[in-house]
Amino acid sequence: MRRALELAASPGVPLGPNPRVGCVLLAADGSEVAEGFHRGAGTPHAEAAALAEAGEAARGTTAVVTLEPCNHTGRTGPCAEALIKAGVARVVFAQPDPNPVAAGGAEALRAAGIAVEMGLLEREARQLNRAWTFALEHGRPFVTWKFATTLDGRSAATDGSSRWVSSRPARVDTHRLRGQCDVMMVGSSTVAIDDPELTVRDEYDLPLAHQPLRAVVGLRELPEDKRVFNDRAETVRLRTHDPRAALAELFSLGKRHVFLEGGPTLAAAFLRAGLVDEVVAYVAPMLLGAGAAAVGDLGITTIGDALHLQITDVTPLGNGPETNVRLTMRPIQADPDRHHRNEETA
């Protein structure tokens, strides 16, 4: 199964809209017969790729797969049916398929007399496709909010004298994270004022082949010559102020992971709605004392209602004065009973 997970994570495999899946076929003596992995939408699924490599040698094998074999016909046929036709004797998979359209493969395999086991390294498999899994289970894309800030919470100086408070190493790292998502989102005000291109670029500032969808949220009319509307990537206008409606539209387009890079107003709207699932902050060791805040009004007036975040990773980026610290965090769900408990213990 660990080899199947390695195959699923092969470099160059798109991160959406399909999950990354790996498959290894084993003979009765445990030796490897064939392996395969899914290379993106419209290409053979991992099981089909492994079966094609094995040919007649697939009969009587054990298929070890990172995700439950699908049971529906999309651009390709059902993997469960392909495994049955190939004469596979046993299937071991890590993660049940959360997609109600594709689920049911385990039942189809058992009905055909194939031994099925599930749950082996499930946690690792879910982590491999964490955004895709979240989106299918919650009916909306996973949202990562990224921002850069000074130690005193400023995203820019008052006079606008610099485009960034983050260092170049931090900005290169931002592009790496952008490339792991299938949507980059900003508000219409950010487009009007900052005119970002919102493309993924390498360390030499050259655009990469794979470009996520650019999404602009808001009702404000924008000139067609803004860089976000150029031909370097696709762009969609989400003409709403409602974060939940914006995510619903993106989900309907098959998008599973949103990289929220909008300004303080858009970020605050998503935070107030409870629609931020991960926070990535690049903190620069500097103080401004004034200037634009990193996030807008969250409607919080007392310390007891503060939004708390759990730190999952701390990574320094750069050297010397160019050093920034990347903090990766996830919001901690509010405890509705905390005020009652505080009153009891006061």
For residue 73, what pLDDT is reported? 82
Q: What angle do CA 196, 236, 126 make, to 5 degrees?
A: 95
Q: Looking at residues 269-274, what average pLDDT do you find?
A: 96
Return the CA Rg of the chain: 23
Token reading at 181 = 């998502």
pLDDT at 214 over 50: yes
Catalytic residue from among 6, 32, 35, 47: 47
Percent of the chain's residues with pLDDT above 90: 79
Binding residues for NADP(+) are: 148, 164, 190, 194, 263-269
Percent of the chain's residues with pLDDT above 70: 95
What does the pLDDT look like over 38-72, one tens digit per residue? 998 889 999 999 999 999 999 999 999 999 999 98
For residue 159, what pLDDT is reported? 83
Binding residues for substrate are: 162, 178, 198, 201, 261
For residue 325, what pLDDT is reported? 97
For residue 338, what pLDDT is reported? 39
Q: Looking at residues 306-332, what average pLDDT do you find?
A: 93
Among 86-90, 175-179, 310-314, 318-322, the minimum mean pLDDT is found in 318-322
What does the pLDDT look like over 137-159, one tens digit per residue? 999 999 999 999 999 999 988 88
The CATH superfamily label for domain 2-133 reads: Cytidine Deaminase, domain 2 (3.40.140.10)
The percent helix, strand, coil of the chain (3-state, each to 5) is: 30, 25, 45
The DSSP letter of residue 7 is H
Catalytic, 203? Answer no
pLDDT at 339 over 50: no
Binding residues for Zn(2+) are: 45, 70, 79
Q: Looking at residues 127-137, what average pLDDT do you find?
A: 95
- Check for a shared fold between 2-133 and 139-331: no
| 184/106 Cα distance (integer angstroms) | 36
Q: Looking at residues 197-215, what average pLDDT do you find?
A: 89
For residue 204, what pLDDT is reported? 77
pLDDT at 296 over 50: yes
What does the pLDDT look like over 241-251, one tens digit per residue? 999 999 999 99
Q: Among candidates 230, 193, 194, which has minimal Cα distance to 211?
A: 230
Domain ranges of the chain: 2-133, 139-331
Q: Kind and range of the H or E element at 251?
A: helix 243-252
For residue 114, what pLDDT is reported? 97
Say which residue, 163 or 1, is predicted with more confidence. 1
Say which residue, 171 or 321, is predicted with more confidence. 171
Q: Could you count the other beta carbons within 10 Å of the beta carbon of residue 314?
A: 11
> What is the residue-averaged pLDDT of the chain?
91
| 39/21 Cα distance (integer angstroms) | 9
Q: Given this structure, which CATH class describes domain 139-331?
A: alpha beta
Query: Which pLDDT band holds residue 344 (cuts at 50, 70, 90)?
Result: very low
Point out which residues pair with 282 in neighbouring strands: 148, 326
What's the Cα-to-Cα distance from 56 to each of 33, 61, 79, rounded to whole Å?
11, 10, 17
Query: Which pLDDT band holds residue 343 (cuts at 50, 70, 90)?
Result: very low
Q: Looking at residues 176-187, what average pLDDT do you find?
A: 94
CA atoms within 13 A on the CB side of 282: 23
| 246/232 Cα distance (integer angstroms) | 22
Residues whose CB is less than 8 angstroms from the CB of residue 93 and which lie 6 or more positions away in sequence, other chains included? 64, 65, 66, 67, 68, 69, 106, 116, 117, 118, 120
For residue 160, what pLDDT is reported? 73
Q: Could you count the other beta carbons within 10 Å of the beta carbon of residue 263?
A: 22
pLDDT at 342 over 90: no
- Residue 346 · residue 334 · CB < 8 Å: no
